[in-house]
Amino acid sequence: MRSAAAAYPAGDEVLIRIEDLWRDFVMRSGTIHALAGVSLDIRRGRTLALVGESGSGKTTLGNQILGTDTPTSGRILFEGRDMPARRDTQMRRRIQVVQQSPYTTLNPKRTVRQILDLPLSIHDGGPRRQRRERIAELLEIVGIPSDFMERHPHSLSGGQRQRVALARALASKPDVIVLDEPTSSLDVSVQARILRLLVDLQARYGLTYLFITHDLSVVRNIADEVAVLYRGHVVEHGTTPELFRAPRHRYTTMLLSSIPVLSEEEEALKPAWDWDVTATAAEPPSTGTCPFLPRCPHAVASCSLGVPPRVATSPTNWHACCNPRPEGADADAR
């Protein structure tokens, strides 16, 4: 696995720009802001990881980029042009998705060949013989023997099914792949092999990834940048090495402190967090305050006066916290 770059290379191109994106859901109990003014850049050929607990808005944001859901307000630009709410075939070709469970995302009634033939036929993959050759090529690319072509998904392992899902995403030769928890249902050893495959595919084809996950140990091995979501807000963003080395937002600190480790040396590198947040995990914040306020033991008076503004900590990193963790890799959680 490769390590992420410490800063954006000169001339790094923004492929997708998200500007002040809101997605509201009106419920009987009130309005839920699944996304609350999200602004992010996704750079061509890079991996941006979206991390946060369940319900933080990660999948909702992925759906906005895929065009399977419509924002309440804000906009998304692709190569500098507004992306329409209804995506045409060309845009759908350029942005593909690999979802969480390989056990539910492949049609059990279709063979591997039929599963891969569908996107090829939609996106002008040529006559049947040419498509069959392309299917064999796709299977080879993801490490599946071509003689698996007539098998059904039930005869494949979880890792093999996810490789087929990757091959299906690659069939249209996309620019962007939204990876929504692509390894969370797999064994650890299989996860590692899928992650290595993703890194290799990105290097080979110049792919851009939006990697959605709650597993920060995975993020460290694949992402160039990380955006931390909490209740629809991006509370911290930056390059992977800097964010892991010196997190500033209290929520990021809490997430990093909970990563499972195997040695005392790894434990010593994690930021300290000695507060039990389970009792207040479901408590919603008041409107117009920091979204993390009900759970934060380090809140100050200004936290209740409005949503914290972004504060830059380097040319590539920023956080939105009124009382951030002190600077320095050896700072404690106070």
Per-residue pLDDT of the chain (334 residues; tens, 9 = 90+): 443 334 445 457 999 999 999 999 998 888 889 999 999 999 999 999 999 998 899 999 999 999 999 999 999 999 999 998 888 888 999 999 999 887 888 999 999 999 999 999 988 778 889 999 999 999 999 999 999 999 999 999 999 999 999 999 999 999 999 999 998 878 888 999 999 999 999 999 999 999 999 888 889 889 999 999 999 999 999 999 999 999 999 999 999 988 776 556 656 667 777 666 554 555 667 677 899 998 888 999 999 999 999 999 999 999 999 999 987 644 443 3
Report pLDDT for 280: 52
Give the C-alpha separation, 48 to 322, whole Å: 25
Angle of the 128-142 helix axis to the 158-170 helix axis, nearest 10: 130
Own/partner long-range contacts of 59-63 (Cβ < 8 Å, ≥24 apart): 59/180, 59/212, 60/23, 60/34, 60/35, 60/232, 61/18, 61/21, 61/35, 61/212, 61/229, 62/97, 62/178, 62/180, 62/210, 62/212
Report pLDDT for 215: 86
Alpha helices (runs of H) in the chain, residue ranges in sequence order:
58-66, 89-94, 112-122, 128-142, 158-170, 188-205, 216-222, 240-245, 250-257, 264-269
What order of strands is seen across the sheet that includes strand 81-82? 30-43, 14-27, 73-78, 81-82
Report pLDDT for 233: 96
Q: Are 35 and 21 in contact (CB under 8 A)?
A: yes
β pairing state of 318-319 and 311-312: antiparallel
Strand partners, 40: 18
The two three-digit tokens of residue 145, written as one number: 């023997």
* Spatial CB neighbours of 256, under 8 Å, sequence gap ≥ 6: 216, 244, 247, 270, 271
Phi, psi of 179 (to 5 degrees): -105, 105
Report pLDDT for 100: 85
Residues shown for the chain: 334
Q: Can you give the pTM of this predicted structure?
A: 0.90
Report pLDDT for 265: 60
Report pLDDT for 297: 87
Report pLDDT for 267: 67
| AA letter at 52 | G
Q: Which of 171, 60, 180, 189 is nearest to 119 (CA)?
A: 171
Report pLDDT for 4: 39
Give the C-alpha separation, 315 to 239, whole Å: 10
Q: Which of 225, 204, 218 is nearest to 15 (CA)?
A: 225
Q: Are 292 and 235 in contact (CB under 8 A)?
A: yes
* Spatial CB neighbours of 223, under 8 Å, sequence gap ≥ 6: 4, 47, 48, 49, 211, 240
Report pLDDT for 175: 97
Q: Output the furthest CA–CA distance in the chain (Å, rounded).
A: 68
Report pLDDT for 277: 58
Q: Which residue shows structure tokens 């507060």?
A: 275
Q: Which residue shows structure tokens 């003689």?
A: 147
CA distances in angstroms from 25 to 22, 32, 71, 141, listed in the order given? 10, 5, 10, 41
Give the C-alpha separation, 221 to 47, whole Å: 11
Ordered domains of the chain (ranges, CATH): 14-245 (3.40.50.300), 271-334 (no CATH)
